Amino acid sequence: MGHQESLSRIVEEIVVPQAGDVDRSAAFPRKAVDALAEAGLLALTVPAEHGGGGQGLRVATDVVRQLSTACGSTAMVVLMHYSAVAALTATGAGSVLREVAAGRHLSTLAFSEAGSRSHFWAPLGTATDEGGRVRLDARKSWVTAASQADSYVWSSRPLAAAGPMSLWLVTAGAPGLSVGPEFDGLGLRGNDSRPVTADGLVVPDDARLGADGAGLDLALTAVLPWFLLLNAAASVGLMQAVTRETADHLSRTRLQHLDRSLARQPESRAVLGRMRIETDRTAALLDATLAALEQGRDDAQLLVLEVKAAADGSAAEVADLAMTACGGAAFRKELGIERRFRDSRAARVMAPTTSALLDFVGRALCGLPLLDGPEA
């Protein structure tokens, strides 16, 4: 069975049926994640030489988009895993990639910190030499799948080199690590996003991913494009789903005193039309960004910076329009619209936030470096 057939089956048989319960109880979608691992979908982007699917960003975005049409929390767990795999692939972490390929490993990113918040490029967590081993101390603020992942791609200040950041592979559950309280958030309630603290965590020196001090370059070149495009894909999936659900609601709900469906009301149709236009426009930008990367075009980096910012705003707008079009019914949980509305709010505050990305786009257009000052 190909990956598309496996994905469709898992979405239909597992992700869709459990999406409401995942949201209501803020439960990690373990059954779906295990099924995705068993089907090889968590290994889809692992290089073939390590036993994975050898697929690239375009295929990964489509997986995340399809998951997001069903469950935003499941999509978020997978997109963070794919982003971590991008870092592991770029640094040749073959042993853990083989574990992912075997369906035994879920990874995630641990970048944002309590002290520097969404400024992931300025970690405050430290790395200290302890005679051939390294001590890591940090307060990570938001880590997706925090209590469920098998490893974290972890950022810190460099051990000794110049530069703002080094990256490490940290094994979940290691002595010195502690995971914060269960996530009880507004949206994406099942993504298990929690603080993770390292207090005297000791890792071997070969746990470093890439050169000491080169972590920011790795984050910007190897990880950020995956994170931004996969986030945009999740937003597109959400918009496609909520637009379809709104159309279904308008078609099946009747105004009995007029003996006509809501779909016969021009005001409702106009709102639905706006939703579809914004959805298609965002999907087209995502596709254009993928094409620019694949073709090595000069505008690829600019489009990468644009796509999440555009999709973040569009997802929030489309979900808000769905609430308007469906009226009071949208406030009932059984319709599912309000879940999409809540989930749509999350992307704008994920680092790099929409405001940070807009600044990056402006800097790129003005020929300025993306970062300056002491953090660059």
Residue pointed to by tokens 């940070």: 356
Distance (Å) of CA 61 to CA 82, 88, 104, 295, 312: 10, 18, 22, 17, 15
Strand partners of residue 255: 260
Tell me: do 47 and 118 sit in the same domain: no
pLDDT tens for each residue of 359-368: 999 999 999 9
Which tens digit of pLDDT belongs to each residue from 121-159? Answer: 999 999 999 988 999 999 999 999 999 999 999 999 999
Do 138 and 119 lie in one domain? The reply is yes
- Whether the pLDDT of residue 375 is over 70: the answer is no
Residue ending a domain, among 80, 105, 130, is 105
Q: Are 84 and 11 in contact (CB under 8 A)?
A: no
**Domain containing 302: what range?**
216-375
The model carries a pTM of 0.96
Q: Where are the alpha helices (DSSP H) in the chain?
A: 3-10, 16-25, 30-38, 57-70, 72-90, 94-101, 215-218, 224-252, 266-295, 300-326, 337-344, 354-365
Domain total for the chain?
3
Predicted confidence band at 283 (pLDDT cuts at 50, 70, 90)?
A: very high
| Residues 356, 276 share a domain | yes
**Residues 191 and 331 occupy one common structural domain:** no
Task: State mean pLDDT over 171-185.
Answer: 96
Strand pairing category for 166-171 and 177-179: unpaired
Q: CATH no. for residue 307?
A: 1.20.140.10
Per-residue pLDDT averaged across 287-296, rounded?
98
Helix (H, G, I), strand (E, B) or coil at 214: strand
The average pLDDT across 251-261 equals 61
pLDDT at 259 over 60: no
Query: Which neighbouring-strand residues pair with 125?
Result: none
pLDDT one-digit tens code per residue, 213-245: 999 999 999 999 999 999 999 999 999 999 999
| pLDDT tens track for 102-115 | 999 999 999 999 88
* Residues 142 and 263 both lie in one domain: no
Give residue 78's pLDDT band: very low, low, confident or very high (50, 70, 90). Answer: very high
